[in-house]
Chains A and B, each alone.
Chain A
Amino acid sequence: MLANYGYEDASGTYYITIDTDMCAECTDHACVGSCPAGLYDIILDDYDDEVAEIREEQRNSLRTLCSGCKAGGKTDWPCTAACAAGAIRHSW
């Protein structure tokens, strides 16, 4: 499943996509520790798979919360780098 967490507002579109089919096979959950803003959490989803999700209370602040990692146009973000399966994508 492609889980898209985020929002669109007048300033733009900010979604983080997690491919939970890839995610379910991961055991090290490196994304959780990689994010300085603590966006990622591991949950048991509705299909009983252990997958990553973006914490609910942070989903509508992604632009601000991710700004530190994206400052200066950087593209080697800690979360995408930490995910060996390549299950994480950002829309912006």
Chain B
Amino acid sequence: MNEERKEYWRWAESRWTNPEISDWQGRTITAGVDIGSTSTQAVILVDGELFAYSNMRTGSDSPESANHAMAWALEGTGMTLDDLQYTIGTGYGRVNVPFADKCITEITCHARGANRIYGPSVRTILDMGGQDCKAIHCDERGRVTSFMMNDKCAAGTGRGMEAIANLLGVDIGEIGDRSFQVEEEPKPVSSMCVVFAKAEVAALMRSGWSKEMVLAAYCRAMAIRVCKLLTRNKMEPDFAITGGIAKNKGVVKRIEEIMGVTALEPQGYDTQIAGALGAAIIAIDMLKKKRARGG
């Protein structure tokens, strides 16, 4: 008999269409596609307003991932690829968006996207991606004033958290809540490397630690690691977190505790679309420039 093994790391893919925008013809339509190492997002704006987006896992082929993400975002809207007037590709696979007019780095796009999601008061952004972590400083217009990233290893990234979810057999969406179900906060896991952290976690389980204790220890270790990056790049309120890990309360609350700040709330936005949203916003400026040049 063929049995399927559950994959606990699989986070939910999603799409959304704005029910308040039905008449988009004749209006300015721009898009952003963020191909990350782990997830891909496509965002469509109509006159600068969020119209539709999709958020899905990145496949092995970047152009195909971009096509799939955009096709899913467009699904059911009546809009087609030909209706997009300017599209910007961003993220790790930004040069592989077949229908993009321009590529811009994810650092610039995340800052601009966070400026929209969290408002102009945001100064420090922590983007916790699938395989890297970035501390970004920006001004009131969402223009980057400094950045620092670490993509040397998977510790402190979404991929690291996925590995722990699978190892412990805990759904990735439950990690945050369960990490608080401990009587006392345990010491963080000591290993910086995910491979060694997995070995350490296995040893802790064998020594009688509950899954909740291990999750608390791992979330704290991840928080400590990214807080070093934040401190090094200068931490200034208001502070916001983007990327998939922003959905993990276990990490977010511990970062807040260590840094002594409260992260801004995303006001209903999916924190994973920040990069693609920023790209679509920048596309509006690019489209204006293009039209001014007579293009």
Contact = CB atoms under 8 A, between A and B. Distances in A.
B150 interface: yes
A60 B152 CA distance: 6
Given A8-B228, A8-B229, A10-B192, A15 B104 contact: no
Contact of B104 (A1, A7, A13, A46): A46
A3 interface: yes
A2 interface: yes
B192 A9 contact: yes
Contact of B232 (A9, A13, A46, A47): A13
Interface in B191-233: 192-193, 228-229, 232-233
Given A1-B144, A9-B153, 5 more contacts: A1-B146, A3-B146, A8-B150, A13-B232, A15-B148
A66 to B, nearest CB: 15
8 contacts: A1-B145, A2-B145, A3-B146, A4-B232, A4-B233, A8-B152, A9-B192, A46-B105
Interface residues of A, number: 13
Interface in A21-78: 46-47, 60
Interface in B122-160: 137, 143-153
Contacts of B137: 2
Interface of B: 104-105, 108, 137, 143-153, 192-193, 228-229, 232-233
Nearest to B234: A2
A10 B151 contact: no
Interface SS of A by simple majority? strand
Q: Determine which residue in B137, B148, B229, B232 has the highest number of CB atoms from chain A within 10 A of its CB, and name it.
A: B148
Contact of A1 (B147, B150, B192, B229): B147
Contact of B152 (A1, A4, A9): A9
Nearest to A91: B232
B105 to A, nearest CB: 6
Contact of A4 (B105, B108, B147, B193): B147
Given A4-B233, A46-B104, A10 B193 contact: yes
Interface of A: 1-4, 7-10, 13, 15, 46-47, 60
Contacts of B151: 7, 60
Contacts of B148: 4, 15
A7 B144 contact: no
A65 to B, nearest CB: 14
Q: Determine which residue in A1, A3, A15, A60 has the highest number of CB atoms from chain B within 10 A of its CB, and name it.
A: A1
A3 to B, nearest CB: 6
Nearest to B107: A46
Contact of A46 (B108, B152, B233): B108
Contacts of B153: 9
Contacts of A7: 150-152
A15 B146 CA distance: 13
Nearest to A10: B192
A4 B229 CA distance: 11
A47 B107 CA distance: 12
Contacts of B193: 10
A10 B192 CA distance: 7
A26 to B, nearest CB: 19
Nearest to A59: B151
